[in-house]
Amino acid sequence: MTARSKVIPIFAIAMFLVAAGGAARADVELQRKLDSLFVIASSGEVRHQRLTGPAMDSIAALGADVVPLLIDKFTTLSARERWTIIWILQRIGSKAVPHLVKALNREDGGVVERVCWALGDIKDTAAAEPLMSVCGHQRWQVRDQAVEALGKIGDGRASATVMAALGDTIGQVRKSAVVACGQLAVQESVPALVHALGDDFYGARLTAINALLALDTLSVIAALADSLTSSGGTQADLACRVLGELHTDEAYELLLGQLSSPDPNRRAAAAEAIIMSDPLDNCGFRRLFIDHESDPLARLRIQSAVNAASNATP
């Protein structure tokens, strides 16, 4: 090897070290800027009240390079700081998605959970498939946030994944799956959502009402009709409530049929749904139940519903 050939590799190594040193200094400077601005952005002090928004904007203006540093901050125990990170990532938008998707592979489940949250708020469809891949995560909070994010993003490719989450062992995850089915308009989920009206977790039960109202009305009424003949308790009561919200002739027919049920709770639930749907009794349905109910508790529920409708009507 000649003296000249020796000089070239040494020169290349020296240039690499200079570049590496420059990159390291740039990283340190970026971290310094972030930390300085983040103190103000996440401050709860009154004196910083007008500065928090501009500070978040300034951090977002640093671009996608700041995203990994923000993700590192997701380990914080402060709720205010977590919200601040989310708000900044929203401002950065789709440019943050590649870094956030990469962070879904992190070992810290708490960080992955919050990354899912951020991706859901950014609503970029590029995150749909990566989020689907963590819907089976061992940490239920990750599953919950991933399913919720898929609903917010609204990508139809996630339909089967959110439907599968309706059978999760954790109620909160099932609730997020119910909401996501409504947001994604998953028509195939109608029977499962009707079943969710009887879920052990109240959150899943109540959100199933709104999810069903977002889907095809005829399919929902058909599934509710089947449910009323085969179920009871909370599921049947909430089925009546959904029918009352639908405001269709077919729904009213089913409710009127329940007024002759041998179960006083079912009769009361049907009457409540009719009253809620027609608070002024424009259809004249109240004469069918208001004076003919023999069960004292059912009569009390019906009268309470009438009073509530009267008070709510101007």
Q: Tell me: the pLDDT tens digits for 125-168?
A: 999 999 999 999 999 999 999 999 999 999 999 999 999 999 99
Q: Token pair of 220, please? A: 């929902």
Residue 100 is inside which H or E element, if any? helix 97-103
Same domain flag for 141 and 246: no
Same domain flag for 245 and 165: no
3-state secondary structure of 251: helix
Q: Token pair of 50, please? A: 């007008």
Same domain flag for 183 and 57: yes
Q: Is residue 4 part of a domain?
A: no
Same domain flag for 57 and 182: yes
Q: Is residue 144 part of a domain?
A: yes
Looking at residue 102, its pLDDT comes to 97
Q: Is residue 23 part of a domain?
A: no
Q: Please say if the pLDDT value at position 18 is more than 50.
A: no
Same domain flag for 179 and 224: no
Total structural domains in the chain?
Answer: 2
Q: Is residue 295 part of a domain?
A: yes
User: What is the 8-class DSSP label of residue 187?
Assistant: G
Q: Is residue 91 part of a domain?
A: yes
Residue indicated by tokens 């749909």: 128
Q: Is residue 193 part of a domain?
A: no
Report the share of the chain in percent with pLDDT over 90. 74
Instruction: Select the more confidently predicted residue: 281 or 116.
Output: 116
Q: Is residue 198 part of a domain?
A: no
Q: How far is residue 219's CA from residue 103's CA, in Å, rounded to a whole number?
A: 40
Q: How far is residue 225's CA from residue 146's CA, in Å, rounded to a whole number?
A: 33
> 157 with 129: CB under 8 angstroms?
yes
- pLDDT tens column, 282-311: 888 888 887 788 899 999 998 999 888 888
Q: What is the pTM for the complete model shown?
A: 0.85
Same domain flag for 180 and 75: yes
Same domain flag for 179 and 225: no
> 124 with 94: CB under 8 angstroms?
yes
> 223 with 250: CB under 8 angstroms?
no
> 209 with 181: CB under 8 angstroms?
no
Same domain flag for 241 and 182: no
Looking at residue 2, its pLDDT comes to 54
Q: How far is residue 274's CA from residue 266's CA, in Å, rounded to a whole number?
A: 12
Q: Token pair of 124, please? A: 């970029």
